[in-house]
C-alpha cells in the first residue's frame, strides 16, 4: 500500500497526524503500508512557489492512494490565480485523472441534534453524491477575463463529451447497485444543452443496469428537494459544477460536516481521500479540530483503493464507538457529552481500534 | 396601469383568476387598470406553434407590467427545444430586458411548521435574493450539442460583461439600502474567471454605497449556509445560474413555496411578476391550487412598477389576515386549520381587502 499523504494547510497537519496514527495501528499488525509525505496548497506555495510542485506530482503519481487533509487560507487568497491553493487541488485531480468524486452525506444517530433540519426529516439520512470531477466548466476552454469593445468580459466554458459522461454514469450505476438500486441524475436540461447530452447519455448507459431505477431531476428542484425531503435520495449523480453545490448542501443537512469523508477515484480505483470540510484557519494549531472526517477518509481508502473492507469497517466501527462513548470535538459538542481535543479524539479512535 | 396577463399552463389559469379578482377590487375603487390577456408557454404552443408568439410580444412590450401565472407541463417536454414552454419564459425575460429577478424568501409565522427546518433556525426568516436574469450561461454563445472526432460534445458558455454585472449590483445595493444594509454577493471566484470579474465589479460598485456592508461568499458555501443558518442573510446577489439554484433552495426553507411571489424588472421598473412555484400539472383544473403567491405577485407589481406602496401593503395585509383566520389550501394545510379551495381562498382575500 503505497500512500502519499498531503497535510496541507490550516488544521490539515493536525488531523493528518491522527489519520497517520490510525494507519500505524494497521502497519503494526502487519499491513504493508509505505508512506510518503508531500506538499500541496499553501504549504507548497510557501516552500516552492507553486501549489502542486513537481516533487508532489512524482510522489502522487507513484502512489496507490493519496490522503489529503485540507488546503487554503486567507494568507494565499491574495496571490495571483496560478499560485492559489485551490489550483493545487484542481491540478492534482486533473493530473491523476480522478474523475469520480464520491461524497457520502450520512447522519450519525448520535449527532442527530446537530442538524438544522427537523429530526424526522433527516433521521437515518444516507445519501451518496457522485460528482464528476475533471470536466465541466471547471476546466473548459476558452476561459478568462478579456477586454472587448472597451468592456471587461468574463467567460467560462461548460463542456462535456459523451465519454466523460458515460464513465461517471457507470460509476454511479455501480454505486447504486451496491446500495438501494435507485439513481437520480441531476441536470438543467431545460436550459443547458451540455446537460441535455448528460441526460441522453445517462439514459443510454442505464440500459446496461436494468436492475437500477433511474430518475432525473433539474438542479434547481434538487436544491429544493434536498431541503424538503432529503431521504427521497439514495445515489445522486451530477456534473462538476452542480455537484460542488449540491454535495455541500447535502453534507450540511447532517449538521456535522466535520464527520464526512470523500473519495476521488480514477478508472482503476486509484484515489485521493479527503474530508469534505476545509482547512479552518481560525482554529488551526489549537488542537481543536475534528479529525474524524480525516480518519473516515482512511476507511474509504481501505474500501475503494485497497478493497480491504475489513479494515474499512473496523475504522468506521471505532469511530462509532467513540461517538457512542460521548466523545466530541468542539464542532459537534452538545451538553451532556465530553469535549475532547483533536489528539484526544485520535487517542480514543486508536484505543477503540 | 397597462397590465398584460399570461395565465399560462397547469394551475396557471385558476390562480390568475384570483389575482384578477384582486385587481378588480382596486379597479372598482377607481384605479385606472387596463388588462390584456395573452398566451405564453404550452398554451401558446398549442394555439400558435410557438411558446412566445408575436401577439404576446406586442402586448407584453406595450404593457407597463406583466403578470404571469406559470408555464410548462409534461405534455410539452417531448417537443423540440424551441417549442418548449420554458423557451417562452426565457424569451420574454430577454425580450423585455428583465435583468433583475427579485425573489423574497419569507417565512409567515402562521406557516412556521411547514418548514423542514427547526423553528429556531427559520423563525422570522426574510431573505431577498437578487438574481441576474438575462445573462450568464443561460444565454451565452457558443452553445449546443455537436459531433467532434466521432464523439458527441455538449457545450455552453458562461459570460458576463462588466455593464451587466454593474447594473444588477446597483439593484442589489439599492435593495439592501431599503432593508438591513447588508449585501452578500455569491460567486465561485476560486474557479471561474467570469465570477472573479463579478466580484471585482461588485466591489467597484460598492464604493457608491458606503452605507451598505458588502460580503462575498462562494456558491458552495452559500448552499451550505442557507441550510445551516439562513438568518445570517438579508439581501443576496448572484448570477443567473447560481441564482436559479440558490433562490429555489432559499424558498424551500420556508416550506411554503406556494406563498412566494417574484419580480423581474428592467431598468425602468417595468416588470414581470410571477409566483416562484411551477404549473403543478398534477392538481390543475381541480380548484386546489394556492393562489396566494400569485396574489402577492400583484402586490409586488403595485410596489415596484406602480410605486403604489399603499395598494401593495393592503394586499399583503389581506393575505396575512386570511392566514391568521386559519384558511389554508392543501399545500399549506395542517391540523387545526380550515382547508379551502383555490377560489375560496380568493373569496377570502377579496373580502379581507
Ligand atoms: C476549493 C474548490 C476548488 C473545490 C471545488 O470547487 O471543487 C471545493 O469546493 C470542493 O468541493 O472540493
Ligand atoms: C423554467 C426555467 C427555465 C426557469 C429558470 O431556470 O430560470 C425556472 O427554473 C425559474 O427559476 O424561473
Q: What is the pLDDT of residues A138-186, one digit of tens each?
A: 999 999 999 999 999 999 999 999 999 999 999 999 999 999 999 999 9
Mean per-residue pLDDT, A348-353 = 98
- Answer yes or no: are the C-beta atoms of B185 and B198 closer than 8 Å: yes
Which one of A190, A195, A221, A222 would you pick to mutate in the ligand 2 pocket, going by the greatest count of ligand atoms within 8 A of its CB? A190
- C-beta atoms of B227 and A252 within 8 A: yes
Nearest residue on chain B to A243, judged by CA atoms?
Answer: B220
Disruptive mutation site among B156, B162, B332 for chain A (greatest number of A CBs within 10 Å): B156
- The three three-digit cell numbers of residue A333, written as one number: 459538542
Cα distance between residue B240 and residue B165, in whole Å: 11
Mutate to test the pocket of ligand 1, among B186, B187, B191 (most ligand atoms within 8 A of CB): B191
Choose from A103, A122, A144, A223 for mutation: most chain B CBs within 10 A.
A223
Structure confidence by residue, pLDDT tens digits, A79-98: 998 899 999 999 999 999 99
Pick the catalytic residue: A188, A209, A270, A304?
Answer: A188
pLDDT reported for residue B77 = 84
Query: In angstroms, what is the span from residue B280 Cα to ligand 2's centroid?
Result: 14
CATH 3.20.20.370 applies to domain A104-259: no
Is the CB of residue B94 less than 8 Å away from at least one CB of chain A? Answer: no
Q: Do residues B287 and B311 touch, judged by C-beta distance below 8 A?
A: no
Provide the residue-wise pLDDT of chain B in tens; the chain has 353 residues: 999 999 999 999 999 999 999 999 999 999 999 999 999 999 999 999 999 999 999 999 999 999 999 999 999 988 998 899 999 999 999 999 999 999 999 999 999 999 999 999 999 999 999 999 999 999 999 999 999 999 999 999 999 999 999 999 999 999 999 999 999 999 999 999 999 999 999 999 999 999 999 999 999 999 999 999 999 999 999 999 999 999 999 999 999 899 999 999 999 999 999 999 999 999 999 999 999 999 999 999 999 999 999 999 999 999 999 999 999 999 999 999 999 999 999 999 999 99
Task: Indicate which atom in ligand 2 lies nearest the CA of residue B93.
Answer: 7
Residues of A in contact with B167 (CB under 8 A): none
Cβ under 8 Å to A: B residues 47-76 = none
Q: Which residues share a beta bridge with A44?
A: none
Residue A311 φ/ψ, nearest 5 degrees: -65, -40
Nearest Cα residue to A236 out of B36, A226, A306, A228: A226
> What per-residue confidence (pLDDT) applies to B56?
98
Distance from CA of A321 to the nearest CA of B (A): 26
Q: Ligand 2: residues whose CB is within 6 Å? A: A 190-191, 220; B 86, 89-90, 244
Tell me, yes or no, if A134 comes closer than 8 A to chain B by beta carbon: no
Which CATH architecture is the domain A1-99+266-353 placed in? 3-Layer(aba) Sandwich (3.40)
Q: Tell me, in angstroms, the distance from the centre of ligand 1 to residue A329's CA.
A: 24
Task: Tell me the CA distances in angstroms from B63 to B22, B91, B250, B302, B312, one per residue in order.
Answer: 19, 16, 31, 14, 19
B107-259 — its CATH code?
Answer: 3.40.718.10
Residue in chain A closest to B153 (alpha carbons) equals: A161
Q: Which residues pair with B214 in a beta bridge?
A: B183
Residues having CB closer than 6 A to ligand 1 are A 86, 89-90, 244; B 190-191, 220
- The shortest C-alpha distance from A193 to chain B (Å) reads 5
Confidence (pLDDT) at A278: 92
* Closest chain B CA to residue A251: B224
Verify whether residue A220 is a known catalytic residue: yes
- For residue B118, the chain A residues in CB contact (below 8 A) are 116-118
Residue with the smallest CA separation from ligand 1 atom 11 is A244
Q: Which atom of ligand 1 is nearest to the CA of A85?
A: 1
**Interface contact B180, partner A, CB < 8 A:** no
pTM: 0.96
pLDDT of A78 reads: 86
A144 touches chain B (CB under 8 A): yes
d(CA B204, CA B200): 6
Per-residue pLDDT for A77 more than 90?
A: no
Q: What is the spatial distance between Cα B138 and Cα A135, in angstroms, rounded to a whole number?
A: 19
- Give the pLDDT score at B81: 87
Q: Report chain B residues whose CB lies below 8 A from the CB of A153.
A: 159-162, 197
For residues A41, A45, A49 and A53, what is the CA-based torsion angle, rounded to 10 degrees? -40
pLDDT computed for residue A337 by the predictor:
96
Q: Residue A233 has what pLDDT?
A: 98
Q: How far apart are CA B114 and CA A228, in angstroms?
A: 10
Domain assignments of chain A as residue spans, ordered by start: 1-99+266-353, 104-259
The answer for residues whose C-beta is within 8 angstroms of residue B22's C-beta and 6 or more apart is B295, B298, B315, B346, B349, B350, B353
Residues A134 and A90 sit within 8 Å (Cβ to Cβ):
no
Burial B82-92 (b: 16+ CB within 10 A, else e): ebbbbbbbbbb
A286 in B contact zone (CB under 8 Å): no
SS3 readout for chain B:
CEEEEEEECCCHHHHHHHHHHHHHHHHHCCCCCEEEECCCCHHHHHHHCCCCCHHHHHHHHHCCEEEEEECCCHHHHCCCHHHCHHHHHHHHHHHCCCCEEEEEEECCHHHHHHCCECHHHHCCCEEEEEEECCCHHHCCCCCEEEEECCEEEEEEEEEEEHHHHHHHHHHHHHHHHHCCCEEEEEECCCCCHHHHHHHHHHHHHHCCCCCCEEEEEEHHHHHHHHHHCHHHCCEEEECHHHHHHHHHHHHHHCCCHHHCEEEEECCCCCEEEEECCCCCHHHCCCCCCCCHHHHHHHHHHHHHCCCCHHHHHHHHHHHHHHHHCCEECHHHCCCCCEECCHHHHHHHHHHHC
**Is the CB of B80 inside 8 Å of chain A's CB atoms?**
no
Scanning the structure block, which residue is given the C-alpha cell 479529525? A291
Distance B247 CA to ligand 2 centre (A): 10
**Minimum Cα–Cα distance from B72: chain A residue:** A190
**B252 — contact with chain A (CB < 8 Å)?**
yes
Residue A119 pLDDT more than 90?
yes
Contacts of A121 in chain B (CB under 8 A): 116
Q: How far is B2 from chain A (nearest CA, A)?
A: 31
Burial A76-114 (b: 16+ CB within 10 A, else e): beeeeeebbbbbbbbbbbbebebbbbbbbbbbbebbbeb
Q: Helix (H, G, I), strand (E, B), or coil: what is residue A318?
A: helix
For chain B, say whether A112 makes contact (Cβ under 8 Å): no
Amino acid at each position: 500500500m503505497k500512500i502519499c499523504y498531503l497535510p496541507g494547510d490550516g488544521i490539515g497537519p493536525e488531523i493528518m497526524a491522527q489519520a497517520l496514527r490510525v494507519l500505524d495501528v494497521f502497519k503494526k499488525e502487519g499491513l504493508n503500508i509505505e508512506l510518503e509525505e508531500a506538499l500541496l496548497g499553501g504549504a507548497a506555495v510557501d516552500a516552492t512557489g507553486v501549489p502542486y510542485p513537481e516533487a508532489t506530482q512524482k510522489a502522487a503519481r507513484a502512489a496507490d492512494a493519496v490522503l489529503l487533509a485540507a488546503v487554503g487560507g486567507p494568507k494565499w487568497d491574495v496571490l495571483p490565480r496560478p499560485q492559489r491553493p485551490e489550483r493545487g487541488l484542481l491540478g492534482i485531480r486533473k493530473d491523476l485523472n480522478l474523475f469520480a468524486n464520491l461524497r457520502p452525506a450520512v447522519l450519525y444517530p448520535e449527532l442527530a441534534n446537530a442538524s438544522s433540519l427537523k429530526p424526522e426529516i433527516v433521521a437515518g439520512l444516507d445519501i451518496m453524491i457522485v460528482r464528476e470531477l475533471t470536466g465541466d466548466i471547471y476546466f473548459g476552454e476558452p476561459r478568462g477575463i478579456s477586454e472587448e469593445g472597451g468592456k471587461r468580459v468574463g467567460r467560462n466554458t461548460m463542456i462535456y463529451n459523451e465519454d466523460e459522461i458515460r464513465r461517471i454514469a457507470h460509476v454511479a450505476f455501480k454505486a447504486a447497485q451496491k446500495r438501494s438500486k435507485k439513481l437520480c441524475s441531476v441536470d438543467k436540461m431545460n436550459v443547458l444543452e451540455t446537460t441535455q447530452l448528460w441526460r441522453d447519455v445517462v439514459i443510454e448507459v442505464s440500459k446496461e443496469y436494468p436492475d437500477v431505477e433511474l430518475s432525473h431531476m433539474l438542479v434547481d428542484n434538487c436544491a429544493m428537494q434536498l431541503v424538503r425531503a432529503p431521504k427521497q435520495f439514495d445515489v445522486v449523480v451530477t456534473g462538476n459544477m452542480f455537484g460542488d453545490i449540491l454535495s455541500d448542501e447535502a453534507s450540511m443537512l447532517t449538521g456535522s460536516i466535520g464527520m464526512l469523508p470523500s473519495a476521488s477515484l480514477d478508472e482503476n480505483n486509484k484515489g485521493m481521500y479527503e474530508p469534505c470540510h476545509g482547512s479552518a484557519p481560525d482554529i488551526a494549531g489549537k488542537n481543536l479540530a475534528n479529525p474524524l472526517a480525516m480518519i473516515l477518509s482512511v476507511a474509504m481508502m481501505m474500501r475503494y483503493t485497497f478493497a480491504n473492507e475489513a479494515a474499512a469497517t473496523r475504522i468506521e466501527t471505532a469511530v462509532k464507538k467513540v461517538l457512542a462513548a460521548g466523545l466530541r470535538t468542539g464542532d459537534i459538542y452538545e451538553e451532556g457529552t465530553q469535549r475532547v481535543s483533536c489528539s484526544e479524539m485520535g487517542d480514543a479512535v486508536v484505543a477503540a481500534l
